Amino acid sequence: MVSGSGVCAKRIVVDARHHMLGRLSSIIAKELLNGQKVVVVRCEEICMSGGLVRQKMKYLRFLRKRMNTKPSHGPIHFRAPAKILWRTIRGMIPHKTKRGEAALARLKTYEGVPPPYDKTKRMVIPDALKVLRLQPGHKYCLLEEEAIGQAACQGREGSRGEVGVSVGDSCPYQVLRSCALSSVLGNI
């Protein structure tokens, strides 16, 4: 991604379909720290090794972690696939430093393929592809299957890849509200 001279390309668009979550995150985190701008599309189709039941139980254990005195101050648990990827990458970056903040500012994650990126060339990362990393016959699940609370909303719009939800554009509550409003208006 970064050329040998150290000069970064303008912006790299990564198609995350059938990539392993941890391997994809570590490669993207390293590129962000090197100064590369990265856009990740189709985050809902990222794979995780292990069966769906195992991943759901692991995520539900994570959801129970909260601050004892004031849970709203505690860890924020994202449920959208794009935000889950963003938080995974954030865990691999020193995000409390200026360098880490600048690196995270260079990252954009989307569900589906939004209009500015649907006509650009999308890359795959061979070191993170499921077919090259996971043994045949081993269990895996998609991030959209594990993402709790977003499946009903994104399954209707995001499956075709036309509507993209950006991480930095709006609050998750606004996204859920707009999705609920669209379903109510569709029933009238």
Structure tokens, 132: 């090259």
Note whether residue 59 is domain-resident: yes
Q: Which carries the bigger pLDDT value, residue 126 or residue 63?
A: 126
Which pTM value belongs to this model? 0.75
State mean pLDDT over 107-117: 95
Integer Cα distance of 168 and 83 in angstroms: 9
**Beta-carbon count within 10 A of 26 CB:** 16
DSSP-assigned beta bridge partners for residue 40: 14, 109
Residue 149 has pLDDT above 90, yes or no: no
* Structural domain that includes position 120: 12-187
Q: What are the tens digits of pLDDT across the range 125-140?
A: 999 999 999 999 999 9
Note whether residue 1 is domain-resident: no
Estimate the crossing angle of helix 21-33 against helix 81-90, to 10 degrees.
Answer: 60
Domain count, the chain: 1
State mean pLDDT over 80-84: 94
CATH assignment of the domain containing 58: 3.90.1180.10
